[in-house]
Structures are given as structure tokens and as C-alpha cells.
Amino acid sequence: MAVDTQAFRLLLAARKAGVDFTRSVTFGRQSFYPKEPPVVRALAASGLGLTRDQIGPLRHTYAERFLTALGATTVDSIDASDYEQATLIHDLNQPVPTDWHGRYTMVFDGGTTEHVYHYPEAIANAVRLLALGGHFISITAGNNQHGHGFYQISAELFFRVFCRANGFETRAVLLADARPGGRFYRVADPAALHQRVEFVSGQRQHVAVITRKVEAVHELRRLPQQSDYQSLWQDQAGLPRRPGGRLHREILRLGRQAKTWAGRRCYLPWQGAGLTALSDQDLYTL
């Protein structure tokens, strides 16, 4: 639960993209420890005009001052315990109180939701907390973080949850090297490509999303289904599912593809269809 270097850069990119931080809430009280050299580079590259003095100390502090520099006039934090003096004590495994619905222009998950057993409930709480026009920003555990939390998240989950049918427009889903100042990659929607966007790496990866609530919804209207299976079900509607048929062959192909990627020894993300490396300029013009 922290604004590390990569989360720092993501939040700068979100502000550059026009996210309104006025009424901000974080899942967990966020520690603040980005690394100094990448911070200086990120502030310059973002073009936001923020100074090093405005964001305050980088170690042994919390992120409220940084969020204030991004435009927040109020910053709340939600946690199941008061051990870090969160402003709102609530277990994200449970629905948030109804009087919190629609209260915030920005909800930030800086690596909290992967520690919540009822992950879908935690995400549903982000939907409930957001005001119309507000943004949900998350950077969470991706590849090679087994044991860090309960879950490692697939990029496609964000596309399927934060879709137009659920009242959201997603600006970007990103993969990020976990190392300070590491590269960001834009992930394409598998539904648009009509294939999975898969990658392997020898390094830890984060998965991130910036998405906007465009309808006054407080509950998801469509439960997510992985796009390639949904496409297969639609293509095979009314047809018998027999061994050797198209559906059976496609399932076998997907299984072989997964084994192929799992067998690769890669120390950087494998860049296939749907995964595009971003320069700093690209990151701050999402």
C-alpha cells in the first residue's frame, strides 16, 4: 500500500490526462517512497509544473501531500484497521456504507486490492465511491509477485470490468516494470484484437488502469467474462459442442499457446500483439 516510483509516475500521468483529484480517497493509507532520481526526471517529463518542494519528503511519510499537489482539497483513506490512522475504518471485503456512494472524484488503489480476499467486492466499492465523472486509478500486482498478496491480476480483468456496459470509459490499461523508473507498456484490449494479450517476464510486473465513471451506476451491470471465450460461445451459439469441432480445436490451441509462453525464458516482457512500450512522452500523453 504505497506510492512507489511507478505509482508516482502513474499518478502524474493521470493528472496530465485531466483526472480530477479534488476529492480523493485511497484504499489503505498510502506510504510515499518514490526514488529521488526518477522523481526529478518524472516531474520534468510530465510538464505539470510541479516542483520538488511541493511534493515533500520521499521517505517515512504518507502520500497526502503529493495528492494535494495534484489538486486534492480533501484526502481520505479506507482501511480495515486504524494502525496507520486511516480516516475511514472499513473492511473492503464488505460493501461501503451507502452514504459514501458518489463522494469522490478519484479513488486510488496503490496495491491494496490484491490483499483483499473478496477482490470483486473491493472493486465494486471503487465503483460505489466514485462520483459521476470521477476516475478509478489502480496499480496492482501482475506477474512474478506470487506470495505478495492473495492475487496477481490480469490486464484483461480491467477491460472487462470497466467497460461501457458497466458505465465506464477506460483511458489506459498499462503494464509496468516494478523496478523504480522501469518502462511502462500500453496493453490493447483483447476483445478488440480478437486474441489474448499474453506476456511473460523474468522481472516483477505491475498492472495499472485509469478509468472514468461516465454513468451514475453504483453496481456492476455486467459480470466480466474473458473475451476469447465469450467470442467462442457467441460463434458456437446453437451448435453442438463435439470433440474435433471448432470450439474444441480453439480451446486446445489456447492451451498450447499458454504452454509456449510459459516455457520462454524472458527477462523483459515478451512484446507480441497488443503490448506497446511507452516512452516518457507517451506516458504523459495518455
Give the model confidence (pLDDT) of 33-50 as tens digits: 999 999 999 999 999 999
Q: In what order do the strands lie in the sheet with 74-79?
A: 88-89, 74-79, 23-27, 104-109, 130-141, 205-213, 168-177, 184-187, 275-278
| Assigned CATH topology for domain 2-226+265-283 | Rossmann fold (3.40.50)
- Smallest CA-to-CA distance from 13 within 126, 139, 118 is with 139
Structural domain boundaries in the chain: 2-226+265-283
Reduced to 3 states (helix: H, G, I; strand: E, B; else coil), residue 96 is coil
67-90 pLDDT, tens per residue? 999 999 999 999 999 999 999 999
- pTM (global) more than 0.85: yes
Q: What is the pLDDT of residues 119-161, one digit of tens each?
A: 999 999 999 999 999 999 999 998 888 889 999 999 999 999 9
Among 184, 133, 179, 174, CA closest to 34: 179
